Structure 1
């Protein structure tokens, strides 16, 4: 296994661990995700970490493949789309995930927890799809 493959395997495992924590603590009812609760803190923290690792992988892949140094996190996914690494729909959703990551980091107190619940329910599939695309 090359160093790049080893790094991808390690980072992919980290994403999966974070997503497993999100799934384990995400209540079935969106209204049960309440401000300042342990479940909310756990979901937000691990969702943020999973998205951040995917962003880091996207930026590193752009640089490693000689595709350029993305000016923004969202741009990394668009560059990978243009290079044929991921499809356009996935790139758009991941670019929105990068924006959501910024909201998590910079405006935690103002989060719409129903939106967080929807993203925590639907978003992990996109993060996993990205990991699969990088392995291809």
Structure 2
């Protein structure tokens, strides 16, 4: 028995759909006289042609890659921008909170009179220093 017959599958003629009996010209149909069966060659899938990317395929792949990279760049830039904006906003809020706290503490201390004495002493020192500088420079009182 030949190799093609070994690979062929045997079906009784009655079991074969009519579409297979009228198949394309590349299939050979053989009839075995001794057994009265139709022998169809085994259907071996043809090897797929080597897939070489076409220009359109390469362009589509390039566009997809560029879209992905652009999306990643935009997301990264947005994250950085948002981080910077959040930092600036937090700095402003922190400064405002610190100023409020300092004002409250200064008002409280002024009400108690402690800071007033220190401020008067500092101003007096400053005035005395300026007067001393002016006198040493030759100014008249």
Q: Which protein, 1 or 2, shows the higher relative CO under an 8 Å CA cutoff with sep ≥ 6?
A: 1
Decide which structure has the larger Cα Rg and report it.
2
- Whose helix proportion is higher, 1 or 2? 1
TM-score by length of 2: 0.24
- Whose strand proportion is higher, 1 or 2? 2
TM-score by length of 1: 0.24
